[in-house]
Amino acid sequence: MARDRKVEVAAVNVRIPEHMDRNYTALIESIFRTRKSVRVRGDTFLAIKSFDPEAGRGIIAKFTEIEVDGDWFDLESFDTATPDMVGEIAIPQNLRPNLSQFYFVVEPKEHVIVFEIYADSKGLSARAFEKFLRSTATDRLLISRFGIVEVDVIKDYGEIERILNLPHLKELTVVIRPPNSDDIGEDLAKVIEERLREQNGGEYEERIKSLPKKDLEPNERTRKLAMIGAENGEVEAKAVQNRILTKIGTTETPLTEGSKFGADTSAQAVFYKLANRLMDRIRMKRREVRE
């Protein structure tokens, strides 16, 4: 009997400045057309392999860059390969090994990209895709059209709720990069935007510390700010756990949806089902923050 396969998806929140061309599908198409790859970790690179702007769907390629000129290891002699042996190696310059591919879809209204982080027994770090988009968006021609594009992995809302409800919370830090006011409501957006604008700031940070021998009790405003940080920055905290002051963060806890499926089911169909489910969660949380 064939084993069930697994697909898991995550999302990034992309923000184009209000005074620039806020066409998120065109942004991704422009990145695709640059044909640039980005080193995201060690010898691992990412690139957009294909993109259909009408459907807003594409494929991310993950591959390895080999240092051909370095020393090689001979598994037969268990020693360094001789120059003659290495000279026999002929890898075409346009080929790269260890290709794995991941679906993604652009949701332009919500300026969110949902993508696979696990498929066909292969993994893609959410932070790696975030890094790829941030890097490629700095292309000079892209900046002239779209401005300084902000990209953040959408963090797990449940993990942020858990942090806010910790019994011995001592410190809470919320970092917010320029958000989209449509997502967070005019009141909070106005406060954040004004404080950044008047000081030429690129990030808004709010930190609250408890009184001595007291625990923090985040109010509704702080809870909303934390949820904004989930999509537009980071949330960090310090709490006493097992009598030790412990630092807790959300950097490595993306919001995800996952499912297992049989061999008779289309992996692509499962991806779009999970992407829709994840987007429903994001839309619901944004409505809560705006209210």
pLDDT tens for the chain, 291 residues long, are 467 889 999 999 999 988 899 999 999 999 999 999 999 999 999 999 999 999 999 999 999 988 777 777 788 888 888 888 877 777 767 778 789 999 999 999 999 999 999 998 899 999 999 999 999 999 999 999 999 999 999 999 999 999 999 999 999 999 999 888 777 766 676 777 777 777 777 788 899 999 999 999 999 989 999 999 999 999 999 999 999 999 998 888 999 999 988 877 888 999 999 999 999 999 999 999 887
Please indicate, yes or no, whether residues 163 and 149 belong to a single structural domain of this protein: no
In terms of Cα–Cα distance, which of 193, 182, 192 is closest to 287?
Answer: 182
Question: Which residues, 6+ apart, have CB-to-CB distance to 80 below 8 Å?
Answer: 71, 72, 73, 74
55 and 143 in a single domain? The answer is yes
Per-residue pLDDT at 104: 98
Give the C-alpha separation, 103 to 48, whole Å.
10
Are 32 and 164 found together in one domain? no
Residues 135 and 266 in one domain: yes
User: Rounded CA gap, 84 and 77, in Å?
Assistant: 14
User: Residues 6 or more apart from 288 whose CB is under 8 A from it?
Assistant: 227
Same domain? 150 vs 23: yes
Residues 239, 150 within the same domain: no
Q: Check whether residue 164 and residue 99 sit in a common domain.
A: no
* Number of independent structural domains in the chain: 2
Dump the DSSP string for the chain: -PPPEEEEEEEEEEE--TTS---HHHHHHHHHHHT--EEEETTEEEEEEEEETTTTEEEEEEEE---TTS--EETTTTEEPPHHHHHT----TT--SS-EEEEEEEETTTTEEEEEEEETTEE--HHHHHHHHHHHTT-HHHHHHH-S-EEEEPB-HHHHHHHHT-TTEEEEEEEE----HHHH-HHHHHHHHHHHHHTT-S-EEEEEEPPTT------HHHHHHHHHHHHHEEEEEEEEETTEEEEEE-TT-B--EEEEE-TTS-HHHHHHHHHHHHHHHHHHHHHHHH-
- Residue 84 sits in the same domain as residue 119: yes
The span from the CA of 16 to the CA of 2, in Å, is 45
Q: Are residues 23 and 149 in the same domain?
A: yes
Q: What is the pLDDT, as a whole number, of residue 84?
A: 80
Q: Domain check: are 209 and 103 in the same one? A: no
The C-alpha torsion from 191 through 193 and 196 to 197, rounded to 10°, is -120
Question: What is the predicted pLDDT for the residue at 186?
Answer: 66
In this structure, are 180 and 41 located in the same domain? Answer: no
Are the C-beta atoms of residues 22 and 16 closer than 8 Å to each other? yes
Could you tell me which residues come within 8 angstroms of residue 2 by beta carbon, excluding any fewer than 6 positions away? 262, 263
**Structural domain of 218:** 157-249
131 and 75 in a single domain? The answer is yes
